[in-house]
Chains A and B, each alone.
Chain A
Amino acid sequence: FSYNHFSFCQTSQPFLPVPKKHVLLFTTSFLIRLVLVAYGDYQDRNMVVKFTDIDYHVFTDAARFITQGESPYNRSTYRYTPLLAWLLTSNIYLTLVFGKMLFILCDALSGVLIYKILCMQGLDCKSASKISSLWLLNPLPMGVSSRGNAESILSALVLGTLLCMEAKHLACAAVLYGLSVHMKIYPVTYALPIALALRAPEGRREEGRQKQTWKKWVTFIGSFLNYELILFVSVAGAVFFTLKGLFYYMYGWQFLHETYFYHLTRRDIRHNFSPYFYMLYLTADSRGSQWLGLAAFLPQLILLLVASWAFHRHLAFACFLNTAIFVSFNKVCTSQYFLWYLCLLPLVIPHLSLSGKRGSGLLLLWFAGQGIWLAPAYFLEFEDYNTFFLIWMAGLLFLVINCFILVQIISHYRHTPPAQRLKTE
């Protein structure tokens, strides 16, 4: 099942309108998010505990600096691309909820993109709408985007890239991919699966003839030099470097530092889901901390390479695995990061042969892992208890749980969706 030979693709046109019966699902999900935004506005005005996330205020303050002709990085803790602050200048000129409207729109759009990708992969439209409703009617992304987090823009860009790859519109995919890497670093992990998927298809097998190893290597490296891959790399690279150059020209070194280098060398030692949190806190000032940082990076890197190679023929699954591995083994992990791989999970679900019971069991286990971490974290931050040791253990347990769930998902992944298997059988 090479990437280029998907023969059971029923709809090769990704931009055809959606069937009418499913438009109701999409409009309902958008309306629910709209109601949440309105409620959030009410809660912000009338109650002490605010609905809107602190990040939204950071974005708005940065946008305000731009409207005053200054750098958005004058706002401390603004560590995103200036593009986001530019987009949100309408928060200042039009209405304060403009940003939230944009985020919930991208969120609903992500659900539509999931539906289209599933249809393109050959799933029947009814199942596709059921699975995309796992995202559209899911309270977690609803809550996150209506509170003013910008994660939905990333998920829309990543899903858009996958849809264009599925439809073989490579230039489109490359533009969206370049944009997504500009906005956040983690889509860089998709570069290897995409490159492996776009290689020249394997030539006819020469029966019984053993090629010499060096010839195999030459063929392997040569397969990377084909038109499609070079086109993708050029367009994505052009988008990424043009934006980078433009913003470097406008905002200088601070842009590069806050958007990229800060995240790469981040030494935020405060408690978070990462298994490395306590180790990095205790060794923050010691001389060996650089080596420990590298030792923490190696498992992540190795797993990303292995997962990319193992599943490059199934691009959506490879991207899901890469993101889940990246987040679970990262030196910093907050709950916002979970959305990065959760938006790709609906694409993987039709290929899983997990029973409903087992699937819900795994989901409960995942939530339990978070709960076990959140309890001591709450007591540390809001009640005077020193629970650092418990938080450390809970972080390690959460890593083990995540790996267990990933192993289950990998074991039960089948190449063809269940509907297709029934058809061919």
Chain B
Amino acid sequence: MQSSNRRMGIMTDVHRRFLQLMMTHGVLEEWEVKRLQRHCYKVHDSTATVDKLEDFINNINSVLESLYIEIKKGVTEDDGRPIYALVNLATTPISKMASDFAENELDLFRKALELIIDSETGFASSTNILNLVDQLKGKKMRKKEAEQVLQKFVQNKWLIERWPPVSILQKEGEFTLHGRAILEMEQYIRETRPDAAKTCNICHSLLIQGQSCETCGIRMHLPCVAKYFQSNSEPRCPHCNDYWPHEIPEVFDPEQEREPGVSRPNKKSLRSRQH
């Protein structure tokens, strides 16, 4: 047998099935990935002990390395849930969408992406995106159509929509990048918009939405804030030491998540600060 696998790890049927399923599902949350892993073991090799997920994935990634693809782990920016996706490091991520969307739809996405990156909050309002409809390449798109295309992006997990809690004046939604899109596009964004791309002061990866220090302007992801200021009664900016003015979110606890996908009830409630 040819041992051409000199650089590769060991791929068994368990790993192959896992990869197939990862490919099928696009992006998965950690609990889903664990379940998938257990399933693959059960199907192929029920006697073996299930590898720790991190080692399991590292093993697979060592094989995938030469193919320029990787199972990437990320964290959702809003509530810190770990997610995994199989990404292709070699191609521009827009091309991954290219088979799904028409030219004008892709351009709409690009425009939305630009708005999101340039925005202060990491969100682009529906109105602002739709106002760019006339500038799209390809077939002419009406605003109504564009709204549906935006919904398609949400369904396919490229964008997330939310309704800002703020005011009655803003009746429409705003959009930001889905965690999956960030995983796929981080490299691309950093390369094409290095000036505009924001970084988290803690983890140094791309930041789309987060909190920022009002004095010195450094930014942090919400989950990074949660971890950094965990059980710190007087949170201070790591850079300028000024009092951190924002609400500190809870650290994501996988044990607490019984109902996946449902936001935890205490997440949005104001946390009482102990001084």
The answer on A and B forming one complex is no
